[in-house]
Chains A and B, each alone.
Chain A
Amino acid sequence: MLKLTENEKVKFSPALIAKFDAIISHRYPVGKLKAGLLPILHLVQAEYGWVSPEAMDQVADYLDIKPIEVYEVATFYTMFFLKPQGKYVLEVCRTGPCGLVGADKIMGHIEKTLGVKEGEVTSDGLFSWRGVECLAACGMAPVLQIGPEYTYYEHLTEEKIDQLIKDLKNK
């Protein structure tokens, strides 16, 4: 999965490092700073749109842990993107109740509208999409969410998807 040759150069900005510091400075006991790994990976992804191997190496340096300890975590949790994505990633819930009330139709409509398959990026770099497992919003199904804020969009219809994509394009 990790393509180590395609790395872009990454240098964390002082502002980003200040955010890391704010997490590990007080939340965890002395010597247990590895606990900051997941929050820090979320911050990295919010900054770059994905977590590249080089960024992971730098996180390892920052937390003073081995790079493999970062790789194994980033590859285990499904929220972390291991390759570049569109600026907006539409993550559509496909499980159980959402499936019952039309998640497949919503994903089909997104695929048709954006013209890219699940996991691919549109040529303008703006969008990608994928099906994800239960987002805990079953009563408002079908739902999707968009990072890095992870705003929920509920009770989806094809019209709402069209409007959402239009709004994001004009943003």
Chain B
Amino acid sequence: MTRKLLLEHIQVPDIHTFDVYRKHGGYRAIEKVLKGMSPDDVVEEVKKSGLRGRGGAGFPTGMKWSFLAKPEGKSRYLVCNADESEPGTFKDRYLMTYLPHLLIEGMIVSSFALGAKVSYIYVRGEMMPQIRILEKAIAEARNAGFLGKNILGSGYDLELYVQPGGGAYICGEETALIESLEGKRGLPRIKPPFPAISGLWACPTVVNNVESIAAVVPIINDGGDEYAKRGNGRSTGTKLISASGNLMKPGVYEIELGLPVEEFIYSDEYCGGIANGKRLKAVVAGGSSVPILPANLILKTTSGENRLMTYESLSDGGFQTGTMLGSGGFIAFDEDACIVRNTWNFARFYHHESCGQCSPCREGTGWMEKVLHRLEYGHGQMSDIDLLLDVSKKIEGNTICPLGDAAAWPVASAIRHFRDEFEWHVTHPKEAMERNYGLANYANPLSQTMQNVYQK
């Protein structure tokens, strides 16, 4: 791809330090903003950029900002959601490890735009190494006059703090995150009121993902219109994709939205194909919560068009034959991966992470885990497959927060696309313990010659 926007300087040694980051154009966005832009100008640029929330929901960031209430005499807060816990997603940890100052610069610009005087980066507790990196970087930025009182003589004051979580996936949901930041259990709140009206300590609050906040920096440097020229249609700009599973080269890649999925998987510039010379069986394209798709459907839509890495193309076909871009957690499954086992693994995750507030999720995730466990271990019945679908339908849409949906979708989609593999686990319980089902009829439509073309 042409110039990267977030990871442009990722290879520069010591880019995590203030001096090196500054030497490579760092903190220019703050200078530009504080020396000639109003907060509303900044919001306007972000709106023009078309940036959509990079945490998973894809809601336009500029619009989210413009919802923020501004009552007299009340503090406003910006909280960065660095509670990255969605299985398959590890881009934020990467960004914080190698480019902490990009996040801090984005936080300062965004806090100015929203009129926040105190902002927090809520980092999941397991990322203590990243918390130490961020705290060091914040101290450096402060020493250089980019944080604290009267930043660059502009009269704008900002304090930035890092807050650790305690190991709970649910705190990635913004109202649970706010509860957790207040020192309570991470139980999602009933909305409305939305955080933009009543968030942290009942004050107007914006919660944004790490990558969204980092993207504000190139948006300000280049202008929102420039950013919107990148990408494809309403999926503007670039996106960090966390690639994992059975790939030749798993890792974090910055892609221009609109890249064909096929090219992302097979070209040497990105994942370099499937590991160990095997064939692709299925893909979870946007973190564990989004529907799993078999290889043929992830590479092409049902109308025969190439599937692209955009919000729109990945969701083409709805839940019947499409999926979602989500957080960009791209998990590839090779021909030997067991879909039933993986679905059980995900169901166990959601059962473990359900906060327990809503009965459909608390009970339903446990049921799904149990039923999938018995299917995987050869004690299942044919009726269990429809039972799973029934339970998943009863969770979906019946909970306060989206964790219920996130738990239901992987199960429902796995059965939708791989029902024969579930049935095989029932009809061949002994065999299922010894070998995997293989590719069956969702084979990789790419011929060997096409794969050779990509790996030239």
Contact check, A136 vs B342: say whether CB atoms are below 8 A apart.
no
Contact check, B85 vs A150: say whether CB atoms are below 8 A apart.
no
Query: Which chain B positions have C-beta within 8 A of A26?
Result: 159
A48 to B342, CA, bound (A): 37
Interface range on chain A (Cβ under 8 Å from partner)? 35 or more
**Binary contact track B165-185/A, C-beta < 8 Å → 1, others 0:** 111110000000000111111
A26 to B117, CA, bound (A): 13
Query: Which chain A positions have C-beta within 8 A of B86?
Result: 134
Query: Which chain A positions have C-beta within 8 A of B252?
Result: 139
Which of A39, A139, A150 touches B244 (beta carbons < 8 Å)? A139
Query: Which chain B positions have C-beta within 8 A of A96?
Result: 87-88, 244, 284, 288, 331, 342, 345-346, 349
Q: Given known contacts A100-B333, A150-B128, is B165 in contact with A77 (CB within 8 Å)?
A: yes
A32 to B159, CA, bound (A): 16
A139 to B94, CA, bound (A): 10
We find that the number of chain B residues with CB closer than 8 angstroms to chain A is 56
What is the minimal beta-carbon distance from B328 to any residue of chain A, in angstroms? Answer: 12
What is the minimal beta-carbon distance from A139 to any residue of chain B, in angstroms? Answer: 4
Return the chain B residue nearest A155 by Cβ: B250
Return the chain A residue nearest B122 by Cβ: A38
Q: Does B126 contact A (CB under 8 A)?
A: yes
Residues of A within 8 A of B (CB): 26-27, 29, 32, 34-39, 41-42, 63, 69, 72-73, 76-80, 94-97, 99-101, 132-141, 145, 147-152
Residues of B within 8 A of A (CB): 75, 84-90, 92-93, 118, 124-129, 159, 161, 163-169, 180-186, 201, 242-246, 250-252, 284, 288, 329, 331, 333, 337, 341-342, 345-346, 349, 352-353, 355
Q: Which 6 A-B pairs have the closest CB atoms?
A: A77-B166, A79-B167, A138-B244, A37-B183, A96-B87, A34-B183
Q: Supply 17 further A-B pairs (C-beta < 8 A) apart from A34-B182, A35-B163.
A: A35-B182, A36-B183, A69-B183, A69-B184, A72-B184, A73-B166, A73-B185, A76-B186, A76-B355, A77-B165, A96-B346, A97-B88, A100-B331, A133-B169, A139-B251, A149-B129, A150-B126
